Amino acid sequence: MTDTRKLSQAFEHTFQRAPEVVVHAPGRVNLIGEHTDYNEGFVFPAAINFGTDIAAARRSDHTISLLALDYSGSTSHFNLDDIQFDRAQPWSNYVRGVLKILAEKHDFQGMDMAITGNVPQGAGLSSSASLEMAVLKAAASLYNLPLNGVDAALIGQRAENEFVGCSCGIMDQLISALGKAGNALLLDCQSLNYEYHPIDPDYQIVIVNSNVKRGLVDSEYNLRREQCEEAASLLGVGSLRAATMDQLLANRERLSDPVFRRARHIISENERTLDMGRALENSDYRQVSQLMADSHRSMREDFEITVEPVDSLVAIIDEVLGDRGGVRMTGGGFGGCVVALVPRDLVGAVGHAVSTEYQARTGLRESLYICTAEQGAFSETT
């Protein structure tokens, strides 16, 4: 976790007073359920022990004054009555966006904020949603706003969609807001209903960044969305969430091969994601292993979003785990991270195998993060 004492000292040095609150919002990793979110399906993320911390205090005017410790102490200032997109300080647009939308619904004054975070940048662990939820938690805490986790997540999603210009789903914000320590969250992206499922305390979440430079993400992501929409249209359903495998197979001749395979991934991935909840409830890690392996195979062969170094990482970790844990690519694809559920007694062996074999196979060096499932910014402590 971040050293909040240093954060508070930086706040005091810059703003010449002590912060009134220090808040935290976690990043996240998705255990299973990839590209299902925009198809109104199911996802299964966990909040992790990397996130964003904000020290903040109220002001008597409408000015928002920001200090970003992770950008060489960059500052940004704006007025709540006239929030504009800032091309010079793009990091500030996540703050601007959520406060612009929050101000449509609630009355509050200005704030001074010092911001820092330790979510690895560019790893697909959702540093942006973590920042958004931390900003909203700070504002809600300072001004006693009646904001719950779902409200905050919807504001964060709108900010990214409408202000920042990123067409994201709701998963990242919701898990950052509503994560629960020791649990993953099974989220229905259509209804926003969710339920928690425990991760066995003898297991840890291990995330390995392939450090592949991702070049095709945006264009290929948009293409996958279009192919999923085409499949849904040809099957006569509002989204692939409503389609069944029997329905898909019966209409195979009407779909091009790529569109058929994209739909097969989404339909089967939704089934795997629901099965994952049952497997975790039963501590059936043999089943977890199979589900995560099938998910990765489907992403590689049907959705075609993995790359060779990521496939190598999965193979290296799978050789250590066998059926005692699971491993798969996580995130949008074309690089990024793999996620593994690893028994604690195998964490060292996984780390050793990755460090000795990944570079030899690919010429790349990985970054490895050992994680635990943590509380969300708006979760009630129990």
Q: How confident is the model at residue 169 (pLDDT cuts 50, 70, 90)?
A: confident
pLDDT level of residue 117 (50, 70, 90 thresholds): very high
Scan for tokens 């009555």, then name that residue: 81
Q: What is the CA radius of gyration of the chain?
A: 21
Stretch 126-141: mean pLDDT, rounded? 95
> pLDDT tens digits for 362-377?
999 999 999 999 999 9
User: pLDDT at residue 1 above 70?
Assistant: no
Give the confidence band of 2 by pLDDT, cuts at 50, 70, 90: low
Q: Mind listing the domains of the chain with CATH numbers?
A: 4-198 (3.30.230.10), 203-371 (3.30.70.890)
Residue 16 three-state SS: coil
Q: What is the pTM of this model?
A: 0.93
Q: Please report the pLDDT score of residue 120 as a whole number.
A: 76
pLDDT per position as a tens digit, 4-44: 899 999 999 999 999 999 999 999 999 999 999 999 999 99
378 or 127, greater pLDDT: 378
pLDDT above 80 (res 214): no
Asked if pLDDT for residue 382 goes beyond 60, the answer is no
* 281-289 average pLDDT score: 97
- Interstrand relation of 42-43 and 74-79 (parallel, antiparallel or unpaired): unpaired
| Residue 172: active-site member | yes
CA dist 240 → 3, 171, 232, 233, 305 (Å): 44, 17, 5, 9, 18
Q: Tell me what pLDDT residue 265 has.
A: 98
Catalytic residue among 53, 151, 172, 311: 172
Q: What is the percentage of the chain residues whose pLDDT exceeds 70?
A: 97
- Checking if the pLDDT of 381 tops 70, the result is no
Q: For the segment 63-102, what is each residue's pLDDT rounded down to a tens digit?
A: 999 999 998 889 999 999 999 999 999 999 999 999 999 9
Mean pLDDT, rounded, of the chain: 95
Angle at 160 between CA 189 and CA 123, to 5 degrees: 80
